[in-house]
Amino acid sequence: MHWIRGETLGRGGFAFVSKGLIQQEEDGNTNIPSMVAVKSSKSTESKSLVKEKKLLDRFNNCPFIIRCFGDETSQEDGEELYNIFLEYASGGCLADIIIKSAGLPEPLAKNHTRSILMALSHMHALGYVHCDIKPHNILIVKQDHVQEDTAKLADLGSALNMREDEDEDDGGFRGTVLYAAPESIAKQTYVPQSDVWSLGCTVLSMLTGNNSPWKFDRSMKAADVLMKIACSDQIPEMPKKISKEAVDFLRKCFVKDPRSRCTADMLLDHPFVKAAPIAGRCSRRHHHHLASRLSHGISSLVPRCFHHHDSAAVSPV
């Protein structure tokens, strides 16, 4: 595959994202679009990117997760880079759209929420927890064959396989504190319902236009913030000017005990999203509720460290 690296779109802790122009050959792979997003890292620091490519390959049949078209290494400026070729999201990342628009109209928020739920349902059925659901990791893809833009889940660098990755899990914190579920902060515990809490925070951001689902006094210390999210009875504040269906949906996401929190499959039947149009199809017939459920309560202890498993966001691509 011949390609040309274009402008840089974003940088993270270990990787950067560029536009990529694919030079199509007559006998080449016509399944690859002419414009892609190229996510790259030094080959010596590519473990997380290799993992992300592997996961994207497993989820490639879900239209609500960013597609991966392959990988390769390249020699650039005297360094060997590992590159993966991703679906180009010309609409950018949801976080930028939320801030620029000061929030989204509820019908559009419903549509994006349903798309994200479909992606989570697919991941959870295969035994994975995303662990870092937030507007920055949701990309908007403009597609010629559908009228509505499609929200797609991206950045799987923090994802955890509950069935196989126990030996690879270092037990540290994954995700972003302000969007993280109480059990993820208090005990670094990750279950499918942890993604549901984070989804609730994301939906709240869509409806309010705020980049933080929580409100804190500026005088609060970091430990107080962590205690409020992880150990208090408080949940993010509900905005006044949203529908009753939206309030009920959010309250079902913001249940402190993950054992009592709804799953993604349950929420797909909620009135807030049930009537929302979707831009693609992702079969739910093979999905099932995972047998594994969190068996421990939420710890009253603040974790010793809050390391963020850094992965370069694809946004804005």
CATH no. for residue 155?
A: 1.10.510.10
Q: Which of 1-5, 81-85, 121-125, 230-234 has the lowest mean pLDDT?
A: 1-5
Q: Return the pLDDT at 4.
A: 95
For residues 3-14, average pLDDT = 90
For residues 67 and 168, membership in a common domain is answered with: no
Residue 53 pLDDT grade (very low, low, confident, very high; cuts 50, 70, 90)? very high
- Farthest CA pair distance, the chain: 63
Q: Above 70 in pLDDT, residue 219? A: yes
- Strand 128-129 versus strand 160-161 pairing type: antiparallel
For residues 34 and 101, membership in a common domain is answered with: no
Per the residue annotation, which of 27, 57, 132, 233 is the catalytic one?
132
For residues 22 and 166, membership in a common domain is answered with: no
For residues 42 and 131, membership in a common domain is answered with: no
- Model's pTM, two decimal places? 0.83
For residues 79 and 148, membership in a common domain is answered with: no
Q: Above 90 in pLDDT, residue 135? A: yes
Mean pLDDT over each residue of the chain, to the nearest integer: 84
| Residue 217 structural domain | 94-274
Q: Which of 34-48, 124-138, 207-221, 284-298 has the lowest mean pLDDT?
A: 284-298
For residues 256 and 111, membership in a common domain is answered with: yes
Is residue 309 situated within a structural domain? no
3-state secondary structure the chain: CEEEEEEEEEECCCCEEEEEEEECCCCCCCCCCCEEEEEEEEHHHCHHHHHHHHHHHHCCCCCCECCEEEEEEEEECCEEEEEEEEECCCCCEHHHHHHHHCCCCHHHHHHHHHHHHHHHHHHHHCCEECCCCCHHHEEEECCCCCCCCEEEECCCCCCEECCCHHHHCCCCCCCCHHHCCHHHHHHCCCCHHHHHHHHHHHHHHHHHCCCCCCCCCCCCCHHHHHHHHHHCCCCCCCCCCCCHHHHHHHHHHCCCCCCCCCCHHHHCCCHHHHCCCCCCCCCCCCCCCCCCCCCCCCCCCCCCCCCCCCCCCCCCC
Q: Return the pLDDT at 165.
A: 52
Is residue 257 situated within a structural domain? yes
For residues 157 and 198, membership in a common domain is answered with: yes
Q: Which of 8-12, 251-255, 272-276 has the lowest mean pLDDT?
A: 272-276
Task: Give the integer Cα–Cα distance in Å for 296 and 309.
Answer: 24
- Strand 16-23 versus strand 35-42 pairing type: antiparallel
Is residue 284 situated within a structural domain? no
For the chain, give the percent of residues with pLDDT over 90.
68
For residues 125 and 249, membership in a common domain is answered with: yes
Q: Return the pLDDT at 286.
A: 37
Per-residue pLDDT tens digits for 166-188:
545 667 889 999 999 999 999 99
Is residue 8 situated within a structural domain? yes
Q: 72 pairs with which residues across the strands?
A: 83
Is residue 99 situated within a structural domain? yes
For residues 107 and 50, membership in a common domain is answered with: no
Task: Give the integer Cα–Cα distance in Å for 137 and 151.
Answer: 10
Residue 163 pLDDT grade (very low, low, confident, very high; cuts 50, 70, 90)? confident
Is residue 23 situated within a structural domain? yes
Q: Which of 55-59, 217-221, 231-235 has the lowest mean pLDDT?
A: 217-221
The enclosing domain of 79 has a CATH number of 3.30.200.20
Residue 274 pLDDT grade (very low, low, confident, very high; cuts 50, 70, 90)? confident
| Helices 244-253, 106-125: inter-axial angle, 10-degree rounding | 30
Q: Return the pLDDT at 147.
A: 64
For residues 212-225, average pLDDT = 88
For residues 225 and 150, membership in a common domain is answered with: yes
For residues 69 and 200, membership in a common domain is answered with: no
Which of 21, 54, 87 lies at the terminal end of a domain, its last residue?
87
Reply yes or no on whether 224 is catalytic.
Answer: no
Per-residue pLDDT tens digits for 91-113:
999 999 999 999 999 999 999 99
For residues 215 and 169, membership in a common domain is answered with: yes
Q: Return the pLDDT at 211.
A: 85
Give whole-number Cα distances, 293 to 23, 127, 194, 201, in Å. Answer: 48, 12, 11, 22
How many domains is the chain partitioned into structurally? 2
